[in-house]
Amino acid sequence: MQSSQPAAPFPAPKRASFSFIDLFAGVGGFRMAMQRLGGRCAFSSEWNLKAQQTYQANYGDAPFGDITHPDTKAHIPAQFDILCGGFPCQAFSIAGHRKGFQETRGTLFFEVAEIARKHRPKAIFLENVKNLLTHDNGNTLQVICNTLQELGYHVSHQVLNSMTHANVPQNRARIFIVAFDPIQVPCYREFSFPEAIPLSSTIHDFLEKGPVQAKYYYPPEHRHYAKMAEGVVSRDTLYQWRRVYVRENKRKVCPTLTANMGSGGHNVPLVKDAYGIRKLTPKECFAFQGYPVDQMRFPAKMANSSLYIQAGNSVTMPLIQRIGEQILKVLEKQRHKKAG
C-alpha cells in the first residue's frame, strides 16, 4: 500500500495541470521530470525493493510492485493523461503474421500495451537503450511501433544523447518513443523532439569538491593500480576501467553509466583528483544523470552496490523533462483548441 510522507523533498505539486503514471519507475527520473512540469503522479510501479526505498525517500510514497500482477494493475486509475516508462528491452517470439499486439505477450512491453489499450492515455512516453534500434535485426522496435499503431496511436521515435540534448556531460544515447492518441489529440502532428543544445557544463560541475571517502580511492597496492596510474593522467576528463585496461573519454564527459559499474570491476568510471585515482561516488553518478543530488535523499543503510545499479538504470532526468515539455506543448495546444 502506498503511504504519504509529506516531508519528502519532491512532493507532488499542489495544483497539477496533468496526470501521469510511472511504470518501471526505478528511482523516479520520469516522476521528477514530469512533476517539475506540473504533473501529478497517479500511479507508480517498480519491482526492485531497493529502488522502491529510494523512490519513497524522495517522493513520499512507495511504488507498487510487479506490474505483471493483476493486483498491481488494479491500482491504476481509470483515467490519466500520459503513460511514462523505461521498459526493459526484450525479444519477441514472432509468429510471422501480425507482428503486433499478440506477439508482445509474455514480455514487459505487453504490460505497457495492455495498459494503453485499457486506459487510453492521451500520450505514451517511453525510453529504452539505443540498441533497441537494432535489437533482433530491428524487429523488436518494429513490433513495438506496430503494436502502438494497432492500438490506434501515432508513433514517433528518436535517439537523443544526454550530452547533446540535456546539457549533462554524460555520453548516454537512448531511444525515446512518443505516441499520441489522434482521437484525443488531433494536433499530434505538431509534436517534435527537442533540438540539440550546447554543452556548457563540464565534469567539474558534477564532481564532489575536495576529497571523498577513502574507500573510493585505489591504493597503490591494488593489483591494477600501475595500469590505472599509467592511463588515468588528466583531471579534466573521466575514464572507464574495462576489466584489464583504461579507456579515456576523449570528449571530456562521463562515459555511459551502467548498472554493473559497481560490481566486478567492469565499466567503472574513474576520475583523477588532487588526492588520487578513484571511482565515482554514487552521489556523483546520480549527478551525471541530472538529478539535484543536494536535495535528494539516499536511504542510510543502502549498500553502494544498489545505488550504483539504480543510477546506472536511471534515465537522465533533464532530458526526460525536455521531451516532456514538447509533449505538453501539444496537449496544451489541444486543450486551448477545445476550449476555444
Is 285 tagged catalytic?
A: no
Question: pLDDT value at position 335?
Answer: 78
Grid coordinates representing 260?
554493473
Rg, the chain, Cα only? 21
**CATH number of this structure's domain 18-197+314-339, picked from the four choices 3.30.565.10, 3.40.50.150, 3.40.50.300, 3.40.50.2300:** 3.40.50.150
Q: Which of 41, 84, 89, 254 is catalytic?
A: 89
> Quick one: pLDDT at residue 180?
98
pLDDT the model gives residue 268 = 82
| Farthest-apart Cα atoms in the chain, separation | 72
Burial call 56-79: b when 16+ CB within 10 Å, e when fewer: bbbbbbbbbeebeeeebbeebeee
Tell me the one-letter amino acid at 276. Answer: G
Label residues 293-319 b or e (16+ Cβ within 10 Å = b): beebebeeebebebbbbbbbbbbbbbb
Q: Which residues, in sequence order, are CB contacts of 299 under 8 Å at separation 6+?
A: 53, 54, 57
Beta strands 239-242 and 266-273 are antiparallel
Coil, strand or helix at 157: strand
Residues of the chain with CATH 3.40.50.150: 18-197+314-339
Q: What's the pLDDT score for residue 238?
A: 96
Query: Quick one: pLDDT at residue 23?
Result: 98
Give pLDDT, residue 237.
Answer: 95
DSSP code for 17 = S
Q: In what order do the strands lie in the sheet with 246-248?
A: 246-248, 239-242, 266-273, 276-279
Tell me the torsion sign for CA atoms 96, 99, 105, 106.
Answer: positive
pLDDT in tens, the chain (340 residues): 344 445 799 999 999 999 999 999 999 999 999 999 999 999 999 999 999 999 999 999 999 999 999 999 999 999 999 999 999 877 766 544 556 777 777 889 999 999 999 999 999 999 999 999 988 888 889 999 999 999 999 999 999 999 999 999 999 999 999 999 999 999 999 999 999 999 999 999 999 999 999 999 999 999 999 999 999 999 999 999 887 889 999 999 999 999 888 665 667 899 999 999 999 999 999 999 999 999 999 998 999 999 999 999 999 999 999 999 999 999 998 777 776 6
Give the integer Cα–Cα distance in Å for 276 and 239. Answer: 14
Q: What is the DSSP letter of 159?
A: E
Q: 168-205 burial, b if ≥16 CB within 10 A, otherwise e?
A: bbbbbbbbbbbbbbeebbeebeebebbeeeebeeebee
Given this model, what pLDDT does residue 1 score? Answer: 39
